[in-house]
């Protein structure tokens, strides 16, 4: 049986020449324009006539748009990124009609990410040099790590972040990514703020609080930005300074999460997490900033694709499972557990650390799922005879996607 290779995206920073930067900026603008035109056409067709327009129809529209005097500038850039953005729009509508995502939104020049995707027909990769369509010189890339030996990129995505940094992401097959040898260990993970994660083993991993190190610098930069006149060159420079600080914070946070998740996946065969609704939790005005800085969503995303890469099982426990209020020794469920209670004693005499107890309960529920392969709704009774909250465990979903961030 032939091994299935995983496709990984290798991201590098590059420094374009003035001509390359101008060409890419034009491409970003054209990609955004085509996406918005196609989205408007598809939305109007559905709302006015009840008609669904697919990728082929929008591709024919693109050909017609290029022939008009108003949109003739679309001919000045490579056609491949324009076709790719139509494919991305088709995927967005597919997810929308399948109720996996919201309705696609129009791209904003200020808020949307600048990016363009090139397929193999629109770039040349030879001897470690990448040359994009409509360009005569290769990109000056900082090769922070080598691509997989003998592999060439199938697609290339060029992007520019809000701090003005340029990145190129190359999608390649990576034969080195394969299932790891099976181990007997399993771990339950309780996400928090003081401790970023608490493991069922009792280990607590401190929250690095990535924003705190640059907090004062960020506050000064934001105050300086607020004093600048809108539309002025000084305001744009101040905005760039704020963006660079945010980028530094995000890089630090992402690096920490990559190291943590890689360790957890390598050490454990089964990883159990809680299905937290981060969007709802952000409604808490006192904790929203700390929750955003902890980046629980990114932590879960990394665990999902790394478990798929390395043959591990990721089990997700329903968010209503009373992991904190449930005694891991006798099964009694407390009616209330305020956030300020960090340690509590059960009627059976067991003394629990709130987070460690929650992680152990998550592990126990996750192992039930891993053993039977289906959802579990245990109905527990408290010593007083009253029924406790129903507990549901969501069965694991192991996903393997075409392109994933670096590991």
What are the φ/ψ torsions at residue 325 (nearest 5 degrees)? -90, -10
Strands 129-132 and 123-126: antiparallel
Contact 270, 367 (CB under 8 A): yes
Q: Which residue pairs from 203-208 have beta carbons closer than 8 angstroms and sit at least 24 positions apart in sequence?
A: 204/355, 204/356, 205/260, 207/293, 207/294, 208/252, 208/253, 208/256
Q: Which H helix or E strand runs over 139?
A: none
Is 274 considered catalytic here?
Answer: yes
CA distance 39 to 16: 31
Extract the runs of DSSP E, i.e. beta strands, from 71-122. Answer: 114-119
- pLDDT grade, residue 279 (50/70/90)? confident
CA 132 centroid distance within chain: 27
- pLDDT grade, residue 2 (50/70/90)? very low
Helix, strand, coil fractions of the chain, as percent rounded to 5: 40, 20, 40
Of the residues 190, 211, 293, 304, which is catalytic?
Answer: 190
Extract the runs of DSSP E, i.e. beta strands, from 236-312. Answer: 270-274
Residue 377 has what pLDDT?
47
What are the φ/ψ torsions at residue 344 (nearest 5 degrees)? -150, 155
Of the residues 211, 274, 293, 304, which is catalytic?
Answer: 274
Share of the chain above pLDDT 90, in %: 58
Q: What would you measure as the largest C-alpha separation in the chain, in angstroms?
A: 81
Residue 173 has what pLDDT?
92
Q: Which H helix or E strand runs over 38?
A: helix 18-49
What are the φ/ψ torsions at residue 235 (nearest 5 degrees)? -65, -35
Residue 384 pLDDT > 60: no
CATH class of 179-208+248-400: alpha beta
Domain ranges of the chain: 7-169, 179-208+248-400
What average pLDDT does this structure show over 25-47?
A: 94
CA distance 196 to 207: 4
CA distance 313 to 162: 36
What's the N-to-C CA distance of the chain in angstroms?
26
Residue 281 has what pLDDT?
80
Chain segment 116-148, per-residue pLDDT in tens: 999 999 999 998 899 999 999 999 999 999 999
Chain segment 207-256, per-residue pLDDT in tens: 888 888 888 899 999 999 999 999 899 999 999 999 999 999 999 999 99
Is 214 considered catalytic here?
Answer: no
- pLDDT grade, residue 26 (50/70/90)? very high
Chain segment 3-17, per-residue pLDDT in tens: 557 899 999 999 999
Between 352 and 378, name the one with better pLDDT: 352
Is 293 considered catalytic here?
Answer: no
Residue 318 pLDDT > 90: no
Model confidence, pTM? 0.82
């Amino acid at each position: 049986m032939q091994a299935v290779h995983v496709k990984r995206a290798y991201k590098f920073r590059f420094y374009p020449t003035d001509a390359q930067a101008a060409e890419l900026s034009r491409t970003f603008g054209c990609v955004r324009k085509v996406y918005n035109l196609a989205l408007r056409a598809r939305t109007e067709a559905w709302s006015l006539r009840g008609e669904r327009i697919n990728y082929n129809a929008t591709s024919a529209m693109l050909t017609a748009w290029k022939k008009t005097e108003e949109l003739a500038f679309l001919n000045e850039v490579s056609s491949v990124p324009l076709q790719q953005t139509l494919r991305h729009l088709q995927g967005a509508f597919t997810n929308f009609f399948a109720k996996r995502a919201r309705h696609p939104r129009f791209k904003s020049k200020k808020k949307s990410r600048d990016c363009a995707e090139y397929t193999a027909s629109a770039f040349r990769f030879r001897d470690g040099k990448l040359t994009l369509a409509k360009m005569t010189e290769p990109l000056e890339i900082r090769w922070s790590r080598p691509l997989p030996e003998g592999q060439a990129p199938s697609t290339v995505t060029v992007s520019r972040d809000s701090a003005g940094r340029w990145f190129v992401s190359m999608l390649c097959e990576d034969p080195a990514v394969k299932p790891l040898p099976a181990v007997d260990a399993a771990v339950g993970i309780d996400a928090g703020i003081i401790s970023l994660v608490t493991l069922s083993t009792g280990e607590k991993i401190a929250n690095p609080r990535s924003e705190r190190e640059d907090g004062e610098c960020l506050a000064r930069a934001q105050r300086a930005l607020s004093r600048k006149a809108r539309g002025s060159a000084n305001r744009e420079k101040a905005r760039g300074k704020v963006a660079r600080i945010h980028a530094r914070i995000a890089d630090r946070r992402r690096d920490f999460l990559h190291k943590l998740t890689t360790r957890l996946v390598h050490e454990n065969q089964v990883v159990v997490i809680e299905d937290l609704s981060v969007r709802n939790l952000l409604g808490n005005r006192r904790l929203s900033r700390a929750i955003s800085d902890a980046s629980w969503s990114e932590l879960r995303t990394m665990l999902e694709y790394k478990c798929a890469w390395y043959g591990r099982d990721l089990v997700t426990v329903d968010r209503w499972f009373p992991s904190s209020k449930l005694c891991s020794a006798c099964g009694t469920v407390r009616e209330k557990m305020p956030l300020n209670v960090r340690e509590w004693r059960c009627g059976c005499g067991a003394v629990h650390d709130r987070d460690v107890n929650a992680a152990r309960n998550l592990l126990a529920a996750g192992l039930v799922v891993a053993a039977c392969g289906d959802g579990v709704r245990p109905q527990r009774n408290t010593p007083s005879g009253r029924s406790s909250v129903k507990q549901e465990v969501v069965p694991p979903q192991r996903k393997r996607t075409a392109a994933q961030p670096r590991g």
